[in-house]
Structure 1
Amino acid sequence: MEGKAEFHVPGVSTPCQTWYKVVGDLNAPGSTPLIILHGGPGASHDYMLPLTDLAPDIPLVFYDQIGGGRSTHLPDRAGDESFWTIDLFLRELENLLAHLHLRDRPVDILGHSWGGVLVTEWASAPSRSTNLRRLVVSNISASMDLHRAGLAKLRGQLPEDVQAALNRGDAENDFGGPEYMAALDVFTKKHLSIGRPWPPPEVQDLMRWYAEGLDVYTTIFGPNTLTPSGSIRNWTAIPSLPKIKVPTLVIDGTEDTPSEAMQPFFDLIEKAKWITLDNAAHMAHADQRAKYMKQVGGFLTA
C-alpha cells in the first residue's frame, strides 16, 4: 500500500505531502509495525528496501522524509537552517503515525544514519514516544564531535595521495573538483558500502535521491560526507540517551565510523544490545543483508 499524508508546515502556504509505503498488514493480530527512517537528509526510503526481508512477519512502514524522495520538496528553503530542523522531521513522523492510526498502539522504530539521529531524539522524549516498544539505531554516531573524530581516524588510514587531495580541497573550500571527487570516491568505496560490483543497487538508489534532495543535505549536514558543517554540526544525543527506557538494538559495521562513536548508545541506554557486523560498512543492511536481518528480526520478535 502506498499513499501520502498531508503535513501542514508553519510558514509554507500549501500543505506538504509525506509519501509512504506499507509492506504487510498493519492490523495483523499480534503484530507490531516497524517504522523505518532513512538516512540523508534529503534521500529516500529506496535504499532501505532490503528490510522487506522482515515481512510478512513484521509489518513495515517506509516513508520519504520531507525534502527528499517522493515527498514534497522545498528548494526555496535551501540554506535555511531555521527551517530545516530536527523538530520539523519529528513533527512529520508524529503526523505520519497519526495518519496511519499508530499513535495509540505499540510500534517499533528503526533509524539508519541521519534517521538514527531522528529516532534517538524521538525515543528520548517521553511525551512523543509513549507507544514505542523497541528501538533499532543503525550506523549513527552519538554526537557530531565523535563523528568528526571518527572521520579523521578513517581519513588518516587512506593512501597519502588521497589524503593530500582531500586536504587541498578542504583548504581551498573546493569540494567539487575532479581531484577531490576522485579522493572522496576512494573513501566512499571503503566506508559507505563494500558491496561489489560498484556501485551496488542500494548505493545507486541512495545517490540518485541525494542528487534530488541535495539542498536539504547541504543545509543540514554539509557539502559532503567528510564535511559535517551544516545545522547539526553541534548535535549530540549523549545527554538524552539515559532517557531511552525501551529495549534498544545498536547495530553497525566494522568498516563504518569507528566504534568509539557509537559507544555511548551502549553505555548510556539501560537496555541496549550492540552488534557489529564483520565485512560491513555504513550500508550494513546491504553489505551483510542476511546477517543484519537475522539480528534485527530476532531482536524485534524475541
Structure 2
Amino acid sequence: MKHFTSLTLIILLLIMSCTDKQDSNKAIEKSSYLDYSNSDDQVTGGIKMIPIETPKGTFNVYTKRMGNNPTMRVLLLHGGPGGTHEEFGNFDGYLPNEGIEYIYYDQLDSYYSDKPNDSTLWTTEHFVEEVEQVRKALNLNKDNFYLLGQSWGGILALEYALKYQDNLKGLVVSNMVASVPEYNTYAQEVLGPQLPSDVLKEIKEIEANKDYANPRYEELLMEHFYTEHILRKPLEEWPKSVHLLFEHLNSEIYVYMQGPSEFGITDEATLSDWDVSDRLQDIKVPTLMLGAKHDTMDPKYMEWMASAVQNGRSITTNGSHLSQFDDPETFFPAVIRFIKDVDEGKFN
C-alpha cells in the first residue's frame, strides 16, 4: 500500500512538472508578443511618427504599435473625419491575450498628428494614399495586413480596398454602410421618428435655422440620441477614451466632410453623395461587415453588404455605433474569430 501511494505521488509530481513547463512555455510565447527589444520603436514604446508626402508638403502622422505578430497585424482607421485612435481605447483589454498585433493611427489633421489645416487634402483620395504610405512604412503586406475601419474609417477602408486590395489579407468594416444616401434615409426615416416628438421637433427647428452652435442642440443629442445610438450607456458611464475622442475631435474637417448634423450627412459636405454600393462586388479579399442593432447605420444594409462582396461575413452586435464599448462580448469575439480564421485559412 505504501509502495502504491509513493508511486502515485511520483506520477502526480511528474504531471504537475509537465504542466508547469507547459505554462512556462505559454508565458514565454506571450512575453515575445510584448518584446520590443529588437525593434526600432522600442525607445518610443511602439510609437512612430510616419512622414506623409502630399502636394502641399510632407507631414507626420501618429502611429503606435501594440504587440508583435508576423501574420496578424491590424491597422485601425478611426472615425470622424477628424476623430482619433482613442475610439479604440479598449482594444488593449481584448486583443493582446489573443496574440494579435494592432496599430493605432491618427490620420492627418487629427489630434496626435500634424495639422496642415488645408482643405484640399480633405478628400477620400488623399486619405487612401495616406493609408498606403503608412502601410509601406510599417511593412504591412498581403501576408499579414488586416485593415479595420469604423464609421468614417469604414468609408476609408472600403475605398482603400477598392484600390489596393492586393495588399490586404483581411478587411473589417465596422458601423458604416456603403452609401451615404442610404445612411441619410435611415437616419431621417427610421432613427429620427424614434425620438420623442417634442425633442425631434426642437432638433429640426435648430437644424432648419442652421443654429448648430446652439448648446441646446448638443444637449438634446447627448441626452436623447447619443446614449441610444452612439454608445448605449448613461453619459456618466462613458469611458474616458470616448470622452477624449469627443474632446480631441477636429470639428473643422468633420464639418467640411460630414457636415454639422447628426441626422445624416448634409448636402454641402463633401461626402454627401458618396456611394460605392455597386462596386462592392469588386472586393475579393476576406471581409467582415460588423453592424449593430442600435447603430446609426442600418444593420440590415450591412448584412446585405457582406453578401455583395465576393468573400464576406456578417455579424450584428446588440450595441450601437461604438459597439466595442457597449457590446464587447459580441464585437471582440467576432473580430478575433475573423482574423484567426483568415490567418488559418478557415475563412469561407
Evaluate the alpha carbon distance shift between residue 177 and residue 121 of structure 1 in structure 2; reply closer, same or farther with a 3 A threshold. Answer: same
CA distance in 2, matches of 1:146, 1:284: 21
1:105-120 map, 5 Å? 105-120=143-158
* Matching residue of 2:265: 228
| TM-score (structure 2 length as normaliser) | 0.79
Deviation at 1:239, TM superposition (A): 1.9
Q: 1:91 aligns with which of 106, 117, 129?
A: 129
Change in CA separation of 1:227 and 1:275 when aligned onto 2, cut-off 3 Å: closer
Q: Judge conservation of contact 1:46–1:205 (CA < 8 Å) in 2.
A: yes
Q: Is the 8 A contact 1:38 1:64 kept in 2?
A: yes
Alpha-carbon contact 1:165-1:179 (below 8 Å) kept: no
- Once the two structures are TM-superposed, the CA of residue 227 in structure 1 deviates from its matched residue by 4.5
Equivalent position of 1:19 in the other structure: 62
Within the candidate set 281, 284, 289, 1:250 is matched to 289
> Aligned residues: percent identity?
26
Aligned-residue Cα RMSD (Å) equals: 1.6
Write out per-residue CA displacement over residues 125-170 of structure 1, whole angstroms, 9 at most, x where no aligned residue.
2xx2212111111000120011001111101110011101111012
Residue of structure 2 in register with 1:123 after alignment: 161
- 1:207 is displaced (CA, Å) by 0.5
Give the length in aligned residue pairs: 288
SS at match of 2:165: coil
Instruction: Specify which of 244, 247, 270 is matched with residue 205 of structure 1.
Output: 244
Q: Residue 4 of structure 1 aligns to which amino acid in structure 2?
A: M
Give the aligned residue type for 1:87. E
Quick check: 1:170 aligned with 2:207? yes
> Would you say 1:219 and 2:256 are equivalent positions?
yes
Distance 1:259 1:293 in 2: 17
CA distance in 2, matches of 1:245, 1:104: 13
Alignment of 1:64 onto 2:103? no
2:179 alignment partner in structure 1: 143
How far 1:197 moved relative to its partner? 5.0
Aligned to 2:325: 286
The code of the aligned residue for 1:33 comes to R
Alignment counterpart, residue 55 of structure 2, candidates 10, 14, 37? 10
Q: Is the 8 A contact 2:165 2:283 kept in 1?
A: no
* 1:66-99 Cα deviation digits (max 9, x unpaired): 0102101123x2xx3x431001111111111111
CA offset at residue 264 of structure 1? Answer: 3.9
Aligned residues of 1:195 and 1:286 also touching (Cα < 8 A): no
Write the deviation string for residues 205-262 of structure 1: whole angstroms up to 9, x where unpaired.
220121xx11111111111322512101000121220111122111121110322442
Cα distance in structure 2, aligned partners of 1:98 and 1:269 = 26
1:50 paired with 2:93, answer: no
Alpha-carbon distance in structure 2 between the residues aligned to 1:219 and 1:73: 15
SS of structure 2 residue aligned to 1:142: coil
TM-score (ref. length: structure 1): 0.90
CA contact (8 A) 1:142 1:264 kept: no
What is the letter of the counterpart of residue 35 of structure 1? Answer: L
The question of whether the paired residues in 2 share the 8 Å contact of 1:106 and 1:131 is answered with no
Deviations 1:163-200 (A, max 9, x none): 01111012111112133222222211110001345351
Contact 1:163 1:183 in 2 (8 A): no
Q: What's the secondary structure of 2:121's corresponding residue? A: coil
Could you tell me how far 1:290 is from its partner in structure 2?
A: 3.0
Highest RCO, 1 vs 2 (Cα 8 Å, sep ≥ 6): 1
Amino acid at match of 2:59: C
* Secondary structure of 2:65's aligned partner: strand
Secondary structure of the residue that 2:173 maps to in structure 1? Answer: strand
Secondary structure class of the residue paired with 2:202: helix
Structure of larger gyration radius: 2
Matched, 1:262 2:305: no
Distance 1:178 1:50 in 2: 30
Distance 1:244 1:198 in 2: 41
Alignment partners' CA distance in 1, 2:167 and 2:109:
27
**1:263-295 CA-partner distances (Å, limit 9, x unpaired):** 4412311221111112x1100111112321111
**Structure 1: which amino acid aligns with 2:49?**
K
Shift of 1:39: 0.6
Letter in 2 for 1:145: P
* Cα distance in structure 1, aligned partners of 2:303 and 2:333: 22
2:216 corresponds to which residue? 179
- Say which structure is richer in helix: 2
In 2, distance between residues paired with 1:38 and 1:24? Answer: 19
